[in-house]
Structures are given as C-alpha cells and as structure tokens.
Amino acid sequence: MGIAEAIIGGSLIGGAVGLIGADKSADAASEAAQTSANASLSAAQIAADKDLEMFYKSLEITKPWRVRGEDALTVLWDKIPKGPGEYT
C-alpha cells in the first residue's frame, strides 16, 4: 500500500469517526434540550398549582368579610326604594 492510499484510507476512517461522533453529539444535545423543556414544564405546573392553592386559601380566609359585606349590601339595597328618610 502506498502513501497516497494510506492518506486516503486514514481520511475516510477519520471522516467516518467524525460523523459518528457528530451524530452522538447531536443526539445528546437533543436529549438535553428535551430534558430541559420537561423540567421547565414541570416547574411551571408546580408554580400554577401553588398559585391556585393560594387563591383558594385567600377565598377561605376572606369569606367572613365577604359574607358580612353581602349582608350589608342586602340591607342597603332594601333601603333604596324607601328613599332618603331621615337624611333629607
């Protein structure tokens, strides 16, 4: 085998190894991107769940004030048809 054949053979082998390495690298990058996307989605879902939990807690702890406000509005609403009364 001559020098030219050795150089060509070495180049072909080197090119094939490079292609295999590039393919594995691309697969690894794709897998890493998918893992990152999945982690972001999981974190977003956890945050949304916590937000909803806090919303329901705020409804729970403010219920007494909302009920009293509704009762007061009912009393006031009933007074509207009677007119200003003693305030005129």
Q: Which of 2-16, 18-32, 66-80 has the lowest mean pLDDT?
A: 2-16
With respect to residue 88, please indicate whether it lies within any of the assigned structural domains: no
Task: Report, in angstroms and rounded to the nearest whole number, the Rg of the chain calculated over CA atoms.
Answer: 37
Domain count, the chain: 1
Residue 39 domain flag = yes
**Average pLDDT estimate for 49-72:** 95
Residue 86 lies in a domain: no
Strands (E), 1-88: none
Query: Which tokens sit at 36?
Result: 């990152």
pTM over the 0.75 mark: no
Average pLDDT value for the chain: 80
Is position 41 within any domain? yes
pLDDT value at position 19?
Answer: 58
Q: Is residue 17 part of a domain?
A: yes
pLDDT tens for residues 75-85? Answer: 888 888 877 77
Six-digit token pair at 76? 């006031």
Domain presence at residue 70: yes
Structural domain contains residue 87: no
Report pLDDT for 4: 61
Q: 28 or 17, which is more confident?
A: 28
Residue 36: give the domain boundaries: 3-81
Higher pLDDT, 48 or 9: 48
Instruction: Give the Cα separation of 59 and 53 in Å (integer).
Output: 10
